[in-house]
Structure 1
Amino acid sequence: MAKTKNYDIVADISSYQDKTLAYLHTLKNNGVKGVMVKLTDSTNYLNPNAAQQVTNAFKVGVQSVGLYHYYQGQPLAEAQYFLKWVKAFGMDKDTPLAIDVEDPYSLPQYNTAGVNIFLNELKKAGYVCRVTYSSSSWFNAGRVNYAKLNDKNIWVASYGSSQPNVDNSTAWQFTDNYKRLGVDGSYDFDGTLMGKRFKYKAPAKPKKETPKPNNNYLASGSNFLVLTDHLNVYNSAVFDQQNRTEYNYAKGSVFTGKLVKYGNIYRIQTKDGYYVSANADFIKQVK
């Protein structure tokens, strides 16, 4: 017998349930602590009540609001469609998100690989609380294989029994008519459906690194030999057309100057107060 008296009750609501404040108040007043709202189905259905159900659940003070998608067998396309609406609703990254795997007509015999693709899309989008819902019979028959799921949070539907009948259950949907309110009721065993287990942490901003000096520039010396055919001479350390002089040093020329820092590289200031490049491809230090 599953111990249930201390577990939070979570209601599963869809377009079959009401969307009014009064209805959400009724659920809360009957012990519902969280709701999982059906958001989408396949790649073209949006629950017409979802926006009001989410809004009113928050208004009545329900502690947690999650969303789920009814799966029809196109994992990538359906995950992207679901995410489109999750984002449109402005849900936080630690919102409980579930994939509902139960359709007896559209789904193949084995679904774990597709479920993993779907959940991985949610993970890539940054959502940290990812759940797979199915019946105990589907889990036990391997139609959804717990051992092969990338995310081990499973929400098991098993009615008329004293326990979920699936090992490692995260939550147990134990009735389809909680307190005769016409709504599915679940026990949340470990806080997953209530959004307690997973908290989103924004990635740390990369540290701004100070650019290192270009190692191809000389950093010492006072006498220099020109290696290039001609070395341009400038009036300042800013090397642009405006500061360029009509003079240059020919290949093989030797001159005296001092190295000066310019940003993260060096220039050479000649004894006459002009500037030339300290790039080691153009000059080298000599005694």
Structure 2
Amino acid sequence: MGLDKTTWLALDVEAPDLPQKCTAGINKFLGYLYANGYHNLMVYGSASWFKEGRINQAKLHKYAKLWVAAYGTPQPGINHVDIWQYTDRFKGMSLDASYDFKNLLKSNGKSATPIKPEYYTAKGLYEVKTDLIHAYNKLPLKGDKNKRYVRLAKGSRFYGVAIKDGDIYSLKTQVGF
């Protein structure tokens, strides 16, 4: 995906069809990422999975941070948690909210990764500068039937590959053009 090595990667461990004991598989995946230069790693899971032993906190790789979901409680209920997701209904909306105890994902209220205003050094990473752009299913970029429901707002970042379309270039992305 072209992610910078400083990117935080969270392994979301909550699918009900996962093995009853997940720790070995989690460690194998984390070890692969770590060996490939990604050192900002975290494991996300429900507090109940830790309490039931589906995820054995004591046996997880020590470099992995913990992001635990525990709703309706005054605290995460698990020791040594780095981030606590305390609701999925923030201010009555269908919106997750977490408390980052160690400010891993932010720095003084600003993005931990500085946003570069014009050009990203990561190959193929772009930022929307206008208020809104539409995504299209295919080239050429015209016709309402060709428009996708997907719209990218100002400040959205995405990866794309420039494709020549007549005299202009269009960006091919995972969501269309």
Aligned to 1:189: 101
Aligned to 1:131: 42
TM-score normalized with structure 2 length:
0.57
> 2 CA distance for matches of 1:153 and 1:191?
12
> 2 CA distance for matches of 1:120 and 1:140?
23
Q: Deviations over 1:206-254 (max 9, x none)?
A: xxxxxxxxxxxxxxxxxxxxxxxxxxxxxxxxxxxxxxxxxxxxxxxxx
Q: CA deviation at 1:103?
A: 1.0
Q: CA deviation at 1:183?
A: 1.5
| Secondary structure of residue in 2 paired with 1:113 | helix
Amino acid aligned to 2:79 = D
**Maintained 8 Å contact 1:96/1:195:** no
**Maintained 8 Å contact 2:66/2:81:** yes
**Maintained 8 Å contact 2:40/2:64:** no
Aligned to 1:163: 75
Q: Deviations over 1:94-146 (max 9, x none)?
A: 11101011111x21110000000111111112111100000111011111111
Amino acid aligned to 2:72 = G
Aligned to 1:95: 7
Aligned to 1:109: 20
Backbone CA RMSD of aligned residues = 2.1
Q: Deviations over 1:1-38 (max 9, x none)?
A: xxxxxxxxxxxxxxxxxxxxxxxxxxxxxxxxxxxxxx
> 2 CA distance for matches of 1:145 and 1:99?
15
Structure 2 unaligned residues grouped into runs of 5+: 114-177
Structure 1 unaligned residues grouped into runs of 5+: 1-87, 200-287
Q: Deviations over 1:189-215 (max 9, x none)?
A: 11223389x99xxxxxxxxxxxxxxxx
More helix by share: 1
Identity of aligned residues (%): 47
> 2 CA distance for matches of 1:142 and 1:192?
26
Report whether the alignment pairs 1:119 with 2:30: yes
Q: Paired residues, what number?
A: 109
Structure with more contact order per residue of length (Cα contacts < 8 Å, sep ≥ 6)? 1
Which protein has the larger Cα radius of gyration, Structure 1 or Structure 2?
A: 1
> 2 CA distance for matches of 1:134 and 1:115?
11
TM-score normalized with structure 1 length:
0.36
